[in-house]
Structure 1
Amino acid sequence: MKVEVVLAWPRRFKAVLLDLPEGATVADALARSGLSLPDGIVAYAIHGLRCDTAQLLHDGDRIELLRPLVADPKDARRWRAADRKARP
């Protein structure tokens, strides 16, 4: 089965496509990815849904390595809206 492991930063990302045997877990994919995992990883997700490292994988899954939020999303939207109103 083919899965993808994705590590993203604000303006760049690194993705690794893996061919794993049936019954592989998130932990197996992370070990085989070859990515140097930074200390800031706080959780994992498959297609945007949070999971743990024991989660079984399916063909086509995309494992996302999640970092802590820099700002509350609601606050960020308010800042962008205020910035748009301030422009002429």
Structure 2
Amino acid sequence: MAAEARLEVEVAFALPDRQRIVTLEVPMGTTARQAVALAELDRLFPEVSPETFAAADLGIFGKPLRDPETHRLRAGDRVEVYRPLELDPKEARARRAERTGR
């Protein structure tokens, strides 16, 4: 029986004060969302809700994925887990304008 084909990928997540890149060896056919689950980021970032990782937007090398649940990874891919926005960009601009009197 042949060994299952595997590939090496990375999963990255960052908070304002620290980041982690987890290197994984996963079976061929692993999706981006599955790789995030395998990286166990909730253990590395206990202050972040596990649901955040399960529902986060994902990307590969800065390119957002439309469907991370079905996007199959290739060797060397780095899955990036994006944090939810704390403030809508339009609201942030409005607040800055208010403070500067514009």
TM-score, shorter chain, exceeding 0.5: yes
Instruction: Could you tell me which runs of 5 or more consecutive residues in structure 2 were left unpaired when the two chains were aligned.
Output: 1-6, 43-47, 94-102
Pick aligned residue for 1:45 from 37, 41, 59: 59
| Distance in 1, Cα, partners of 2:36 & 2:21 | 12
Root-mean-square deviation (Å): 2.5
Give structure 1 regions of 4+ aligned residues with deviation exceeding 6 angstroms.
none
> 2:58 is aligned with what amino acid?
Y
| Distance in 1, Cα, partners of 2:73 & 2:52 | 23
Pick aligned residue for 1:26 from 32, 36, 43: 32
How many equivalent pairs are there?
78
Which structure has greater helix proportion? 2
Pick aligned residue for 2:80 from 51, 64, 70: 64
> 2:14 is aligned with what amino acid?
A
* Match of residue 82 from structure 1: none
* TM-score in terms of structure 2 length: 0.61
| Distance in 2, Cα, partners of 1:40 & 1:56 | 21
* Match of residue 45 from structure 2: none
* TM-score in terms of structure 1 length: 0.70
1:6 and 2:12 matched? yes
